[in-house]
Amino acid sequence: MTDSLRRSLANLYIPLGSLLAALIIFGGFCALAGANPFGVYHSIYRAAFGSWSSFQNTLTQASPLMLSSLCTALPARLGLVIIGNEGAIVMGGLAAVVSGLALSDWGAASPVVQIGMALAAMGLGGLWIALVGALRHYRAVNETISSLLLNYIAIALLNHLINGPLKDPSSLNNPATYPIPAVHMLGNLPGSRVHYGLIFGLVACGIAYFLIQRTTFGFAARTTGGNLRAAKIAGLPVGQLTLIICFLGGACAGLAGMVEVAAIHGRANAALNAGYGYSGVLVAFIARQNPIAATVVALLLGGILASGGILQRAHSLPDATVLVFQGIVFLSVLYGDSLQGRLSGLMQRFRRQPVPPPAPIGPLV
Amino acid sequence: MATPALSVTRRQVLRGLLATSAFGLTVKLGGCGDSPIADDGTDTLTAGFVYVGPRDDYGYNQAHAQGRDGLADVPNLSAFDEANVPETQAVQETMRSMIDLDGASVIFATSFGYFEPHVLSLAEEFPDVQFFHCGGLYEEGVHPDNVGSYFGYIDEAQYIAGIVAAHTSETKRLGFIGAIPIPQVLRNINSFTLGARSVDPSVTTQVIFTGDWAAPVREAEAANSMIDQGVDVLTCHVDSPRVVIETAERRGVFSSGYHASQAELAPNGYLTGAEWDWTSVYRNYITWLQEGKTLMNGGIPHLVRGGLGDGFVKLSDYGSAVSDTAKQEAEDAKAGLLSGDLVIYAGEIQDNRGNTVVAQNEALGQTAIELEQMDWLIEGVSGSVS
Amino acid sequence: MATDALGWWGVPLAIIAGTLRGSAPFLFVSLGECLTEKSGKINLGLEGTLLMGAMSAYAVSFLTGSPWLGVITAGVAGMGLGLIHGWLAQQPRVNDIAVGIAMIIFGSGLAFFFGKPYIQPAAPQLPSIAFGAWSQSPQLESALRVSPLFLLGVAIAPLMTWFFRATRWGLLVRAVGDSPDAARAMGISVFKVRLFSIMAGSFLAGVGGAYLSLYYPGIWSERISSGQGLMAVALVIFARWNPRQCLYASLLFGGAQAIGPALQSVGIDAYYYLFNASPYILTLLIMVFTCSPRRQLSGAPGALGQSQD
C-alpha cells in the first residue's frame, strides 16, 4: 500500500472509528440511565437521517454552523485562535436588520434589500473580528481573549438595542426590532424547507478552501501561520494579511447572523445569541480548520442537534442527554485525530512519537 | 399518602369543572360547532408540549411541566414534552418532529418567543394541527385559524400579594426584581403596587431589571441592594424565583413568591405568592379537544384568558407573618375580583412620569387588550421601562 | 428588619458587599486557570468544571448533610474532568482550546444530567463569619458577612505565588510551562507535570463551583454560572499569570457584578445591559492599554498556546 493511499484511508476510518466509539460509549451511558441503547441508536437515525424530512432538520441545524465555523477556521491559518463567532453573528444580525429596514423604507427592490443586508452584515461582522486582528497585530492583545470579551459586549449591545433604541413597541413580550417586510425575506430552497443559508454556507466553505489552498494569498497566509518570523523576513505584509483574514472570517459569521434575520426571524431578537458561535468554534477545530471538512462536521453536529428532541420524547432521557452525547462525540473525535499517523506505531507498540503539527497555532501572547 | 392524593385529584377535577364553566370569558366567536375530530381514525389524542428551559427549574417551565404531568390520568391521551428548546428554528423542527414522527395533532408551545415566526409558520404548514401558544396575542384575520393563545391574569394574585405586602411592610418600601421590562412583567409590577397602595398610598415599589430570565448572581445582588436601601418585602418575575426568596429570608425580610409556592424556602418571611395552575387550563383544553371541539370549527376560542376565578392562577397559603387584618383585606379583595366588583385598573391612574394612563372614569377590565400592551409603570414605582 | 435606607451610600456599600460575596468563584477558577496556564496549557473547559463542581457539591451536601464534604467532592469531581482534559489536550495534533470547548459541553452536560433531582431540594449551606457583628447597621453587618471559603481562596493566592517562586514543584511547573524541551532534557516528565497542574487547577475550579451552589447565591440551577469559567481565562491574562493579581482581578470582577443592580436601586435605570457588561469592556480596555507588540508580557509562560510537540 502506498503512503498516500494509506493516509487517505486513515483520513476516513479514523473519524468513523471515533464516531463508532462515541456511539458505543454513549450507548453504555444510556443503558446506565435506563434506556435501551439500540432503541436510542434507532431513534437518533430516524430523527436525523431517517427520512428526507428529518434530514432537512439536520441540514437546517447545520447551515449556521458552516458559516460560523469559518470565523475560526480562516484566522487559524494565520495561527490565530479566534472564538468571537457569537459576537460577529450578533453584530451581523443587527447590521442586517438596520440596513434592511433602511433599504426597504427607501423603497428598494427585494434583491437590493437582500444584497444590502448581506453586505452590511458581512461588513460589520468582518470589522468586529478585524478589530480583534488589529488589536492582535498593533497592540499584541491576545486574540482569543479579546474575541471572547467582544462576544459579551456584542450580546450586551444586542440586548440594549432590542430593549431600547431599536425596539418595536408591538413586539410586546418578546422584545425585538421592527420586522423586515415579508417580501424581502430569503426564501427556501426549491422543494424543501431548508433556507438559502445552507447554500451560503456551502459556497463560503468552498471559496474559503480555494482561497487558502489555491491562491497566492492563501499561500502567504499559510506561510505566515507556519512561521511568523520567516514571513516577516520574506517581506510578507503580516499586518494586512491579519486584518484581511480576520475580516473575511468575521464576514462569514456576520452573514450567518444575516441569514438568521433574513430567512427565519425577520427581525433581530435575543434568539440571535443562540450558541451557534461556540458550536462553530468546535466545528472548526474538529475539522482541523479545513473548510470542506467543516461542512461535514457541521452536518454531523446538525444531526446530533436534530436528534436531541427524540431522546427526550421517545426515551424519557433528560434534556441534558444531548449535551453529554455531543461532548462524548467531540472528545472521541479529537482523540481519534491524535491517532492519525500513529496507528501503525500503535499496532507495534504503544509509544508516544513526536508528530509535526499540521495546523500550527500561534503563541497565545 | 392515598388520601391526600385522592383529595388533590378531586380538587383538580372540581377546579377543572369550575374553569370549564367560567371559560366563556373571552370567547369571541360564539359558535359551537360539534363536528367530530378527525384524528387518523384513532381515539387517542396526541399532544406535544414544548418548554424553553429545563423541565425542573423550580419556576416558569416547571409550572408548565407540572401542568402536563397533571394530565397523566386522562384516558385516551398521549401527552409528551420536550424541554430546553431554543427560540430559533430549532423549535420549528421540534414541533414538526412531534407532528411527523410522534403523530401529535395538538402542540402547546409555552414560551413567548415561540410565537412569531415559529408557531405561525408551522401553523400555516400544518392546517390540521392545532397550536396553542402561551402568552401570545392572537389577532383574528391576521393569524392562522389553527392558532390559539392562552394566558392567565396572574396579576390578580399579584394585586392581592401587594395588599398583604403593604400590611406587613414596616418601611413601606417594596422591591420587585424583574427580568426584562415586557408588558407581562410591567403588569405584575403595577398590579402588585396598586394592591399595596390600595392599603396605604405612601407605599412605593423599587424595581430592578436584571436583563435576563435567569441570572442567579445578579438576582441575588439586586435583592441585596434593595434590602440595603430599606426594602422589606421582595417579590419578583424571573424564571426561577428561588434566589430572590432565599436571599430575602437570609437577610430577614419578607418575600412573596411567583410561578409556584416557595413557602418552604422561607418559613419565616414568606407572605404569599402568585402561582400558576396550568393543570386546570390544560385539562380543560383536553376536554374540549376530546369532545371534538377545535379552533377551526369554532368550538375552542382563540384567546383563552382567565384569572383567580377561572382556576388559572392561585395564591400561596398565607405565611405566619401575615396579620389577620391583612388576611381579611386580601380575602375581601379576592372576593371583589371574583365577583367582578373590583377592577384593578380603574381610573384615574397616572404613570410614574405624570402621564394619565387610565382616565378618570375609565375602568379597564382584565380582558382589556390595552393591558396586554402595557408600557408604563404607575406612580409609586421607581424604575423605568427603557 | 432593615432600618433606614442608605441612599447613595448604598452604591459603594453594594459594590463592597458584592465584591466580598461574589468574587470567590472568579478567584478559585482564575487561580486554577493560572496554575494550568503556568504549566503551558489552557483549559477553557473550566466553565464545565465549575458547573460540575456546583452540582456535585450541592448534591453531596444535600445527601450527607455536610456542606464541607460537598466542597471536597466538588474539587474531586473537578479533578476528574481535569484528568480528561489534561490527558487529551496533551495528545499529538490535539488543540487545548478545542478540548476545552468540548469539555464545556461534556462537563455541563454531565452536571445537568445528574443534577436534575437536586434543583428543588434545599441543601445545607456553608457557614459564614460575621465580621460586621459590631456594627449597628444591618446593611453593614450583612455586607461584612464573609464565607470562610472566600478567605481560603484569598490565602491560596499568595501561597501559590510562593509555590511558584520558592518550591521545587513550583519550579517544575514553571520550567515545563516556559520551555518544555529544556525540562524534558532535565529528565522531567512534561506530560505528568502538566497533567497534575491541570488536575489541581480543576480541583480549585470545582471548589469555585461549590461556592456558587453552597454559599452565594446558594442554589443549584442550570443557569448558576454566568460565564465565570470562561472569564477565568481572560482574568488570568489580565492578572499576568500572577496569583496575587488574580486575587485583585477577581475582586474587581466580583464587585462589577453588583454595579448594575446597585445603580438601579438608587434610580439610575437606563443602560443596565451596558453596565452589566462593564467588566468585559474594562478588561478589554486595560488589555489594549497595557499590551505592547514590542515586548512579551512578563510572567507569560513561554510554551503557552504553542502547538503540541
Please name the residue of chain A whose CA is at the shortest distance from the CA of residue C103. A327
Q: What's C1's DSSP letter? A: -
Q: Is the peptide bond before A354 cis (omega within 30 degrees of 0)?
A: no
Across the interface, do C221 and B216 touch by the CB < 8 Å criterion?
Answer: yes
Which of C17, C222, C276 lies closest to B54 in CB terms? C222
Question: Taking Cα atoms as reference points, which of C30, A144, A308, C198 lies closest to residue B82?
Answer: A308
Q: Quick one: average pLDDT of A3-22?
A: 80
Task: Say which CATH number the domain at C59 has.
Answer: 1.10.3470
pLDDT in tens, A81-100: 999 999 999 999 999 999 99
Separation of alpha carbons C188 and C175, rounded Å: 9
Which of C108, C111, C293 lies closest to A138 in CB terms? C293
Residue B320 pLDDT level (bands cut at 50, 70, 90): very high
pTM assigned to the model: 0.89
User: Cell numbers of A230, please?
Assistant: 520567516
Answer whether residue C138 is part of any domain: yes
The sign of the dihedral angle between the CA atoms of B179, B184, B186, B191 is negative
- For chains A and B, CB pairs below 8 A equal 94
Chain A environment of C288 (Cβ under 8 Å): 135, 139, 141
User: Cell numbers of C286, please?
Assistant: 486595560
Across the interface, do C272 and B264 touch by the CB < 8 Å criterion?
Answer: no
- Specify the pLDDT at position B20: 37
For B346, the 3-state DSSP assignment is strand
What is the nearest CA distance from A326 to chain C, expressed in angstroms? 7
Q: Given the DSSP bridges, would you call strands C145-146 and C129-130 parallel, antiparallel or unpaired?
A: antiparallel
User: Cell numbers of A314, please?
Assistant: 421517545
Which residue, among B61, B69, B96, B97, would best test binding to A if mutated, counting the most A CBs under 10 Å from its CB? B97
Answer whether residue C212 is part of any domain: yes
The DSSP line for A157-212 is HHHHHHHTTTB-GGGTTS-BBPPPPGGGS--BPTTSS-BTHHHHHHHHHHHHHHHH
User: Cell numbers of B72, please?
Assistant: 397523566
Across the interface, do C265 and B208 touch by the CB < 8 Å criterion?
Answer: yes
- Specify the pLDDT at position C269: 75
Across the interface, do C106 and A327 touch by the CB < 8 Å criterion?
Answer: yes
Residue B8 has pLDDT above 50, yes or no: no
CA angle C272, B179, B152 (to 5 degrees): 150
- Specify the pLDDT at position C126: 94
Instruction: Output phi, psi for B379, to 5 deg.
Output: -55, 135
Structural contact between residues A64 and A276, judged by C-beta atoms closer than 8 angstroms: yes
- Specify the pLDDT at position B26: 35
Across the interface, do C265 and B222 touch by the CB < 8 Å criterion?
Answer: yes
What is the nearest CA distance from B72 to chain C, expressed in angstroms? 20
Answer whether residue C298 is part of any domain: no
Which residue, among A161, A316, A319, A324, would best test binding to B if mutated, counting the most B CBs under 10 Å from its CB? A319
Which residue, among B171, B207, B224, B261, would best test binding to C if mutated, counting the most C CBs under 10 Å from its CB? B224
What is the nearest CA distance from B163 to chain A, expressed in angstroms? 26
- Specify the pLDDT at position A363: 41
Across the interface, do B90 and A167 touch by the CB < 8 Å criterion?
Answer: no
| SS3 sequence of A143-172 | HHHHHHHHHHHHHHHHHHHHHCCCECHHHC
Separation of alpha carbons C44 and C60, rounded Å: 26
Residue A349 pLDDT level (bands cut at 50, 70, 90): low
Beta-strand runs (E) in chain C: 129-130, 145-146
Separation of alpha carbons B335 and B308, rounded Å: 10
pLDDT in tens, B243-277: 999 999 999 999 999 999 999 999 999 999 999 99
Separation of alpha carbons A123 and A110, rounded Å: 20
Chain B environment of C262 (Cβ under 8 Å): 221, 225
Cell 445603580 belongs to which residue? Answer: C263
Across the interface, do A148 and C234 touch by the CB < 8 Å criterion?
Answer: yes
What is the nearest CA distance from C91 to chain B, expressed in angstroms? 34
Which of A60, A172, A320 lies closest to B89 in CB terms? A60
Residue A142 touches partner C, C-beta closer than 8 Å: yes
Please name the residue of chain C whose CA is at the shortest distance from the CA of residue B170. C1
Residue C262, Cα to own-chain centre: how many angstroms?
23
Separation of alpha carbons A133 and A225, rounded Å: 13
Least confident of A302-311, B24-33, B343-352, C23-32: B24-33
Q: How far is CA C180 from CA C175, C278, C306, in A?
A: 7, 38, 11
Separation of alpha carbons B89 and B153, rounded Å: 30
Separation of alpha carbons C11 and C8, rounded Å: 6
pLDDT in tens, B57-67: 888 999 999 99
Q: Residue B39, Cβ neighbours under 10 Å: how many?
A: 18
Q: What's B118's DSSP letter? A: I
Separation of alpha carbons C84 and C102, rounded Å: 11
Separation of alpha carbons A360 and A222, rounded Å: 9
What is the nearest CA distance from C164 to chain B, expressed in angstroms? 33
b/e per residue A240-249 (b: at least 16 CB within 10 A): ebbbbbbbbb
Structural contact between residues A162 and A175, judged by C-beta atoms closer than 8 angstroms: yes
Separation of alpha carbons C30 and C240, rounded Å: 11
Across the interface, do C112 and B54 touch by the CB < 8 Å criterion?
Answer: yes
For B180, the 3-state DSSP assignment is coil
Separation of alpha carbons B35 and B253, rounded Å: 56
Q: How far is CA C39 from CA A159, B327, C175, C182, C237, in A?
A: 38, 64, 8, 13, 14
pLDDT in tens, A106-163: 988 999 999 999 999 999 999 999 999 999 999 888 898 899 999 999 999 999 999 8
- Specify the pLDDT at position A350: 45
pLDDT in tens, B53-98: 888 888 899 999 999 999 999 999 999 999 999 999 999 999 999 9
For C281, the 3-state DSSP assignment is helix
Return the percentage of chain A with pLDDT > 90, whole number. Answer: 63
- Specify the pLDDT at position A346: 57
User: Cell numbers of B197, please?
Assistant: 397602595
Segment holding B54, helix H or strand E? none
Residue B166 pLDDT level (bands cut at 50, 70, 90): very high
Separation of alpha carbons C218 and B223, rounded Å: 13
Q: What chains are in contact with A, requiring at least 3 Cβ pairs below 8 Å?
A: B, C
The ipTM (two decimal places) reads 0.91
Across the interface, do C284 and A150 touch by the CB < 8 Å criterion?
Answer: yes
- Specify the pLDDT at position A300: 92
Total domains in the fold of chain C: 1
Which of C104, C284, C292 lies closest to A149 in CB terms? C284
Q: Residue A89, Cβ neighbours under 10 Å: how many?
A: 37
Residue B227 has pLDDT above 60, yes or no: yes
Separation of alpha carbons A166 and A178, rounded Å: 7
| Dihedral of the alpha carbons of A284, A288, A289, A291, in degrees to the nearest 10 | -90
Q: How far is CA B168 from CA B160, B234, B379, C308, in A?
A: 13, 11, 21, 65
What is the nearest CA distance from A353 to chain C, expressed in angstroms? 8
pLDDT in tens, C201-213: 999 999 999 999 9
b/e per residue A209-228 (b: at least 16 CB within 10 A): bebbeeeeebebbbbbbeeb
Domain of residue C181 covers 2-290
Residue C94, Cα to own-chain centre: how many angstroms?
25
Residue B25 pLDDT level (bands cut at 50, 70, 90): very low
Residue A165 touches partner C, C-beta closer than 8 Å: no
Q: Quick one: average pLDDT of C231-247?
A: 88
- Specify the pLDDT at position A171: 82
Segment holding B138, helix H or strand E? none
Separation of alpha carbons A37 and A163, rounded Å: 45
The sign of the dihedral angle between the CA atoms of A137, A141, A147, A152 is negative
Residue C78 has pLDDT above 90, yes or no: yes
- Specify the pLDDT at position C36: 95
Q: Which residues pair with C130 in a beta bridge?
A: C145
Pick left, alpha or beta for residue C295 (phi over 0 → left; psi -120 to 50 → alpha; otherwise beta).
beta
Across the interface, do A141 and C230 touch by the CB < 8 Å criterion?
Answer: no
- Specify the pLDDT at position A348: 55
Chain A environment of B386 (Cβ under 8 Å): 163-164, 167
Across the interface, do B221 and C142 touch by the CB < 8 Å criterion?
Answer: no
Do you know the residue count of chain C? Answer: 309
Residue C267 pLDDT level (bands cut at 50, 70, 90): confident
C83, burial (CB in 10 Å: exposed 0-12, middle 13-18, buried 19+): middle
Residues 302 through 331 of chain B touching chain A, CB cutoff 8 Å: none
- Specify the pLDDT at position B258: 95
Residue A361 pLDDT level (bands cut at 50, 70, 90): very low
Which residues of chain A are at the B interface, by a Cβ-Cβ cutoff of 8 Å?
Answer: 46-47, 53-54, 57, 60-61, 159, 163-164, 167, 169-170, 172-175, 193, 260, 264-266, 269-271, 274-275, 305-306, 309-310, 312-314, 318-320
| Averaged confidence pLDDT in chain C | 89
Cα atoms in the Cβ-side hemisphere of radius 13 Å centred on C26: 29
Across the interface, do B180 and A175 touch by the CB < 8 Å criterion?
Answer: yes
Instruction: Output phi, psi for B350, to 5 deg.
Output: -110, 150
CA angle B24, B30, B34 (to 5 degrees): 100
Separation of alpha carbons C281 and C277, rounded Å: 6
Answer whether residue C296 is part of any domain: no
Across the interface, do C142 and B251 touch by the CB < 8 Å criterion?
Answer: yes
Residue C156 touches partner B, C-beta closer than 8 Å: no
- Specify the pLDDT at position B22: 37
Separation of alpha carbons A152 and A131, rounded Å: 15
Identify which of A227-231, B42-46, B256-260 has the greatest average pLDDT.
B256-260
- For chains A and C, CB pairs below 8 A equal 178
pLDDT in tens, B88-141: 999 999 999 999 888 999 999 999 899 988 999 999 999 999 999 998 778 888
- Specify the pLDDT at position C306: 62
Separation of alpha carbons B331 and B240, rounded Å: 27
The DSSP line for B321-385 is T--HHHHHHHHHHHHHHHHT---SEES-EEBTTS-EEE-TT-EE-TT-GGGGG----BTTEE---
Which of C122, C212, C217 lies closest to B247 in CB terms? C217
Separation of alpha carbons A68 and A280, rounded Å: 5
Please name the residue of chain B whose CA is at the shortest distance from the CA of residue A269. B113
Separation of alpha carbons A252 and A265, rounded Å: 19
Residue A224 touches partner C, C-beta closer than 8 Å: no
Chain A environment of C280 (Cβ under 8 Å): 149, 152-153, 156
Give the gyration radius of chain B's Cα atoms. 21
